[in-house]
Structure 1
């Protein structure tokens, strides 16, 4: 108890002592944690520095939803120990668990920054835990003044254990309490390629060209008691502000893991889905149902994934798309299976400083289960939001998700959920 109070006191003291910095000083080559990060994608690369001494920026995020969803299925009863495993959990209109993040960003040296994110409250874990963090190097002056200056003018090196820069969809997803860059309340994409792996990434960006190569061990939880092969991934693309009204971006990403004893690529979000207890059975708990409404291909042993993301913004109208194909297998399989995903968002932002927006998103995932059944899951969202300030967002949406092709013994057979969700989000 005393230790927890001491920890809380130290965090509060740190936050208070750096409040002025958090409000007034944005660290070089980092995206701000507010409205300004909408459509920012990778942080800009700028060789101009404002570093004069070690700085600590303390920030955070908070989110709360009111959920009004209903669900149904036509699955055949499966009785285990007297309990029907295919009977859906009874859900009603109510508030979800409030979530909270703590962010610490540090300017350690000229061109060297640190990011750390801690989940204070999340659906999957009751306790506070570190989500991940990384070291970002934009200059090598700590080796020698102007060391590789011409190369580092365009290059960035990132090392840590955090989300990988695979695809562009992760820039628009909700990360526990941080949801300002996600125009919808949805639990991100149906196939949510997100996990906090140890990694090293090297970027080269010049005249709109984006190039990145990375390596990881593909493991969510680290241990020296079991081996694994390295995961290799890369991204190439082009991002250009053509004129004052038009911006165009197109990227392609690939990720490959040749061998792993546990690959949590599509189920690595420990914060859990934004839709609580939908399509879950009566035995579900907050931790066991973290993947509610998601599609998890169950590629544990081997996997290759490719994602293509176009983005176009013309004045207030913007389109963001995702095409993804992934193949792999689990430890018990000898042949690979394949899943595909398609998503398209169309939004219109308007008002003073684009404070309002509305739009829709269609998302579909097709794949083959281990049983051989071919399944399709479709989700449609329509909604909008209001940025009351650059740090405060209120948004609402209607969602309809349907499951097709699942066997009669699956809880998803004839499954569907629909309804509305309202969210209040703060980030700073």
Structure 2
């Protein structure tokens, strides 16, 4: 992969000497700098087409982490309420959470290639150079964006395409508005906080999205093949069992839709509200557990090695294998339906962004009742100074719902306060305090203790991010 990237860079360098190829004259693109703040979905702009143009950009983020984890499990050798004997393993002194050092996390880096291929037609390729879940270089995805159909015939359907955009490829599913404010590996410039929502909705699949945005109307309809990992291998159904007598025999497409209103009412006030729909009847991938970059909270709520009823339980700190620490996934295994409502209000320097997410799903085809998990989040940000280069903010986030592993509902809540400084439109520094709590989790989970039983973590984090 590294050789491939170097080859592409070399080709682009030679292309620069060709008078017919320019750099950076890309149409209808969300800026990767501070100018991209609060730009949702696709946009239309008046960048003229002047022949083939190449886009080359990147993003880098570095965090210093000072977090500590706690729970209500006891250290040492003791008998759990279910009668299991818990003892130390390899000199660990019994069950305990991992102690975390105050130090730097693995830096995250992205690379972006793109090209304006024709008037109203561009291509985009996103690459993760380094991430928590995959330390090596790998491709996030790529897509073709069509804003004009002049390649068919000059001004073909121009009246419709003036407000319409078509995206085709392996790309980030446009479910809700919160993913436009989240951190995407090295791309952390537009997130006023360090992490995304507790239940982080993010997935890349092969598909198509069609947008129609006009005079405040926001609309999108999309369909994907429902697969995070692409392939043509035959789908072989699982053997029927007593608990799942009717296993899936296929993978269904994912259906996406968005409808809303977005208007700058006057110089000071902008109002936006959207509702989004996301459904898959026979799932292959999980939209709340498919971020291959991983969370920003390295190692929180992970344990040292210990013995449970004479059975060794390994240390689960590994940042790659256990990449989603601090996040929550409803863990639907068969089907899901989700709705998300996102209100956004900006009055001068003050902005509010909300997330109301309602999900339901099941784990076995036709044999189990659906479970439900809901999420609520509210961000309040105040931007001030010359060109609003400083900001302070707070977010409160709650997730509540049912897990397949236990009968009672669980609850997770997080408070995060943040302050930041845009040193330039491409560089931001952020300092944040986080406190996250877990309640109503059972003490045991399968053949081990549950790290989230009476759990919490808190502390500060610093992040510096560059995007260009």
Interval of TM-score (by shorter of Structure 1 and Structure 2): over 0.9
How big is the shift at 1:325? 0.5
Which residue, 412, 427, 431 being the options, matches 1:396?
Answer: 431
Confirm whether residue 168 of structure 1 aligns to residue 177 of structure 2: yes
How big is the shift at 1:372? 1.2
Q: Could you state the TM-score of these two structures normalised by the residue count of structure 2? A: 0.86
Q: How does 1:73-84 map to 2 (within 5 A)?
A: 73-75=71-73, 82=89
Query: Which residue matches 2:231?
Result: 223
Confirm whether residue 210 of structure 1 aligns to residue 212 of structure 2: no
Cα distance in 2 for residues equivalent to 1:422 and 1:325: 32
Confirm whether residue 198 of structure 1 aligns to residue 206 of structure 2: yes
Kindly tell me: are residues 288 and 143 of structure 1, through their superposed partners in 2, closer, same or farther at Cα, counting changes over 3 Å?
A: same
Cα distance in 1 for residues equivalent to 2:16 and 2:396: 42
Query: Which residue matches 2:386?
Result: 352
Q: How does 1:88-99 map to 2 (within 5 A)?
A: 88-99=97-108
| Greater radius of gyration (CA) | 2
Q: Could you state the TM-score of these two structures normalised by the residue count of structure 1? A: 0.93
CA contact (8 A) 2:377 2:396 kept: yes
Cα distance in 2 for residues equivalent to 1:184 and 1:269: 18
Structure 2 unaligned spans of 5+: 75-79, 236-249, 305-314, 445-449
Secondary structure in structure 2 of the residue aligned to 1:150? helix
Confirm whether residue 427 of structure 1 aligns to residue 467 of structure 2: yes
Kindly tell me: are residues 4 and 356 of structure 1, through their superposed partners in 2, closer, same or farther at Cα, counting changes over 3 Å?
A: closer
Kindly tell me: are residues 22 and 256 of structure 1, through their superposed partners in 2, closer, same or farther at Cα, counting changes over 3 Å?
A: farther
Which residue, 275, 296, 299 being the options, matches 2:297?
Answer: 275
CA contact (8 A) 1:320 1:344 kept: yes
Query: Which residue matches 2:370?
Result: 336
Confirm whether residue 415 of structure 1 aligns to residue 455 of structure 2: yes
Secondary structure in structure 2 of the residue aligned to 1:8? helix
CA contact (8 A) 1:366 1:374 kept: yes
Cα distance in 2 for residues equivalent to 1:86 and 1:133: 45
Cα distance in 1 for residues equivalent to 2:428 and 2:16: 24
Which residue, 272, 286, 294 being the options, matches 1:249?
Answer: 272
Query: Which residue matches 2:321?
Result: 288
How big is the shift at 1:170? 0.3
Structure 1 unaligned spans of 5+: none
How big is the shift at 1:211? 1.0
CA contact (8 A) 1:22 1:59 kept: no
Cα distance in 2 for residues equivalent to 1:362 and 1:221: 33
State how many pairs are aligned.
423
Cα RMSD for the two superposed structures: 2.4
Query: Which residue matches 1:297?
Result: 330
Which residue, 189, 193, 203 being the options, matches 1:184?
Answer: 193
Kindly tell me: are residues 92 and 140 of structure 1, through their superposed partners in 2, closer, same or farther at Cα, counting changes over 3 Å?
A: same
CA contact (8 A) 1:86 1:411 kept: no
Q: Deviations over 1:25-69 (max 9, x none)?
A: 3411101111000001123224x4511211111000000000000
Kindly tell me: are residues 408 and 199 of structure 1, through their superposed partners in 2, closer, same or farther at Cα, counting changes over 3 Å?
A: same
Confirm whether residue 314 of structure 1 aligns to residue 342 of structure 2: no
